[in-house]
Amino acid sequence: MKMLLVFAHPEHQSFNGAMFQTAVDTLTAAGHEVATSDLYSMQFDPVSGRHNFLTLKNPDYFKQQLEEMHATETFGFAEDIEREMKKLEWCDLMIWQFPLWWFALPGILKGWVDRVFAMGRTYGGDRLYANGVFTGRRAMLSLTTGGPQQAYGKGGFNGDIHAILRPIHRGILQFVGFDVLQPHIVYGPVRLDQEQRTVLLAAYGSRLKHIGDERPFDVGIY
């Protein structure tokens, strides 16, 4: 399988960094083709604007979706965006590795979505959800939290983690056609000792060895 790993953490020595490297090593050893987007190391610019495009249909008034449609028709996306789009279109399975920040994606990863998931190229018209551009492909979130697991259950202090992730699962990944696998969540790694972290990394590696056999789960609409 063709795997795309998108990594959004500024420190490679972090637990997120260890999870990212575990994924790279495990999937490569299993014989998969692996491509990566290490957003901080790439110094990926998360801010959208006119620089997303080589030329503009309307240079006097910027409307991003209009320009995305135009760029789709004219092969007019900037080089950094085109490169990421090709990775996205290439993969069979995409995994995002990130820390949950303010109950959402880190800004650099959200900006990657804002720029790379372009109208016309990745969605538009009736090419949404079950008819999406990426129908038949799969995606998975791999993330860490700051708080303990009990804080993210139904009725927990921070609320149900699946409700927190639903806008990403449904509003981004399923929106463009991806089937979504159960998220891989490590709760509060900062509070764990090295032995516990080692066990969790091994468990993640074990899951990834069989990731091709997993089936999507129902994220729900509401």
Whether 221 is in a domain gets the answer: no
Handedness of CA 206, 209, 214, 218 (dihedral sign): positive
Measured distance CA(169)–CA(128) in Å, rounded = 14
Number of domain units in the chain: 1
Whether 167 is in a domain gets the answer: yes
CA–CA distances in Å: residue 67 to residues 55, 63, 83, 126, 198: 9, 6, 18, 19, 47
Whether 218 is in a domain gets the answer: no
Whether 186 is in a domain gets the answer: yes
State residue 127's pLDDT score. Answer: 96
Whether 153 is in a domain gets the answer: yes
Whether 194 is in a domain gets the answer: yes
Give the CATH number of the domain where residue 72 resides: 3.40.50.360
CA–CA distances in Å: residue 58 to residues 67, 71, 74: 8, 12, 14
Give first-to-last CA distance, the chain, whole Å. 32
Helix (H) or strand (E) holding 196: helix 194-209
Which residue ranges in the chain fall short of pLDDT 50? 222
State residue 172's pLDDT score. Answer: 97
Q: What is the pLDDT of residues 45-67, one digit of tens each?
A: 999 999 999 999 999 999 999 99
Domain that holds residue 99: 2-213
Whether 219 is in a domain gets the answer: no
State residue 221's pLDDT score. Answer: 57
State residue 48's pLDDT score. Answer: 96
